[in-house]
Chains A and B, each alone.
Chain A
């Protein structure tokens, strides 16, 4: 991927009701660079500021401070109709008094394109989203999934430099959502337009994106490729928000050059290789993905032991909750490949092995 910057957000803050008692800091000194032809996702819980950032790029809100550049030109003071950026709204916001074709052609018409050009582009767009047969339907005569496609076609028709998508799939049912995820990826490839996608669904973010920015409380915590975000979260919030994670609070007892001993509150201390870049002393948090730990025999090198508290069978996987003396049980996910249930009963003592490479040491 060529890494030319399409959108450069630098030091942007947004304060709502500024100067009043109910001042809300929606964005707090956010900087991020979004590359050309990239499927970029803003991921975070509701109220984290992801939609505000999107609306700032679209021009519906103006930043309290900071700058937003598109292809090197400052756009933060431009009105929405002067920005080569289009939005797909969460509620679609399709014009109910117009047909499918009129909705798709609206942006082109407003740009003052000729009638023949509008016609041609609308037909092309209808083909792109596979809606040719419904061109003269009214918006209330088509289904939610079809409205979604029309909203996409309408926003893509003027060929924006950047397409902003504000949780566009949240109103669809699961099956349709999966279909549209694939569809969106295809559209992004076919059009070569930069997509900035906002979602609170971590699975959606990981499946679709080239890069993901995880946000919380008005800040961007980590920007990286999905597998890096999943495997190398740099923050406890990121590790917790993306997928399931076992967190273990630990205290460094002694730190050697190769190995360190950690106290996790149980009877025994555990030993881990000292990461070369560990700058923290004292209290740390270990993050371990449930599928990256395994139950082992003593011949393997177990790092904890615990009592099996609960076995949860969910078809493809079995979840084991193991009491290792910490506040919450340690969860191990085992894929059911053999078709036979593992012979473990509640109360058994089990040993847990984890490759030290997959243990994340997080700042708090």
Chain B
């Protein structure tokens, strides 16, 4: 009896091993892509960040932690005095701040938009969704230059304001943080609208009636019924906007001019004119770390909030 049981167990284990093998085989293509396209480059970056920069770009194969040191500190080339790298930290701070503001603005504008679309009759919803996705058809660079054309001193907005006499001289909107914020919000807002819409489409609007019926005001209905139930969409949308904003390159480059750099531009600078690949690599990894920490904190707090609401 015990023998047959053991036999059966070994048979089961065999079947399980077979299953594992087959699953592994089936996921091979995905694994290859992940290893080659994601882990590989990441590993190269990690290695580069611990090497010495070459004289004409590239790296010298000498171990060094200088790049990581340079992320936050600045060593004077003449007297070797060490000070905090203000330029890097202010760029870091601007990146985080602008990305946060972009996410917030995208939410403030995107949430009502998603709500509007979700409350249309089903046959017209697709038209609205289609309109939201139209900007994706155009190259990012062209869209960014379009924004530039609108807000520059001789652009559409200033010309109009001058014409109606609201202002005497053009407003300096271009090459400011506001310009970058505007550009990034415009570029990334569909990534906020679409996931919120997806959550909202599944939302049962009978619940709104039920809440109204139970003496909830409009604001209470929003806060106590709609928001908690579409939160997965809001969380997804925020992540989808925040991450690319933090690493944005084209928008701050075009709309921020040369002076308002963000992390993406700083990294590009190190691999280009700066000829300091290890520092570029270290900065890239810093960016990655910020994104991951921000994500963990955000998702955790969203879960905790959900938990207090739910149970």
Contacts and interface: CB of A to CB of B under 8 A. Distances in A.
Which of B210, B216, B225 has the most chain A CB within a 10 Å cutoff? B210
Interface string A69-80: 000000000011
B214 A154 contact: yes
B76 interface: no
A86 to B, nearest CB: 6
A138 interface: yes
A95 B215 contact: no
A93 B311 contact: no
A111 B215 contact: yes
B207 A110 contact: no
A93 B225 CA distance: 11
B212 A80 contact: yes
B214 A96 contact: no
A110 B204 contact: no
A16 interface: no
Nearest to B311: A99
Contact of B213 (A80, A91, A136): A80
Given A91-B206, A110-B220, A138-B310, A97 B228 contact: yes
Contacts of A98: 309-310
Contacts of A79: 212
Q: Which of under 10, 10 to 19, 20 to 34, or 35 or more describes the interface residues of A?
A: 20 to 34
Given A95-B225, A97-B310, A110-B220, A60 B214 contact: no
A89 interface: yes
Nearest to B207: A93
B209 interface: yes
Contacts of B216: 81, 106, 110
B28 interface: no
Interface in A95-137: 95-99, 106-107, 110-111, 136
A7 interface: no
A107 B306 CA distance: 21
A105 B220 CA distance: 14
A81 B213 contact: yes
Contact of A95 (B207, B209, B306, B311): B207
B229 interface: yes
Interface string A148-164: 00000011001000000
Contacts of B311: 99, 136, 138
Contacts of B213: 58-60, 80-81, 85-87, 155
Nearest to B309: A97
A60 B309 CA distance: 27
Which of B212, B214, B216, B220 has the most chain A CB within a 10 Å cutoff? B214
A87 B212 CA distance: 10
A106 B211 contact: yes
A93 B206 CA distance: 6
B225 to A, nearest CB: 6
B311 to A, nearest CB: 7
Which of B204, B215, B229 has the most chain A CB within a 10 Å cutoff? B215
B39 interface: no
A209 to B, nearest CB: 23
A107 B229 contact: no
Contacts of B214: 81, 86, 106-107, 110, 154-155, 158
A106 B216 CA distance: 9
A96 B306 CA distance: 12
A251 B217 CA distance: 61
A79 B220 CA distance: 14
Nearest to A154: B214
Given A97-B309, A110-B216, A80 B209 contact: yes
A87 B310 CA distance: 24
Contact of A89 (B209, B225, B309): B209
A93 B209 contact: yes
Interface string A29-59: 0000000000000000000000000000011
A115 B262 CA distance: 50
Interface string B38-68: 0000000000000000000000000000000
Given A99-B311, A106-B211, A81 B206 contact: no
B209 A81 contact: no
B204 A93 contact: yes
B31 to A, nearest CB: 36
19 contacts: A59-B212, A60-B209, A60-B212, A79-B212, A81-B214, A81-B216, A85-B213, A87-B210, A91-B204, A93-B204, A93-B209, A93-B210, A98-B309, A106-B216, A107-B214, A107-B215, A111-B215, A136-B311, A158-B214
Chain A to chain B: the 10 pairs with minimum beta-carbon distance, closest first: A107-B214, A93-B210, A110-B215, A93-B206, A80-B212, A110-B216, A81-B215, A87-B213, A97-B228, A80-B213
Interface of A: 58-60, 79-81, 85-87, 89, 91, 93-99, 106-107, 110-111, 136, 138, 154-155, 158
Given A81-B213, A81-B216, A155-B213, 7 more contacts: A80-B212, A81-B212, A81-B215, A95-B211, A106-B211, A107-B214, A138-B311
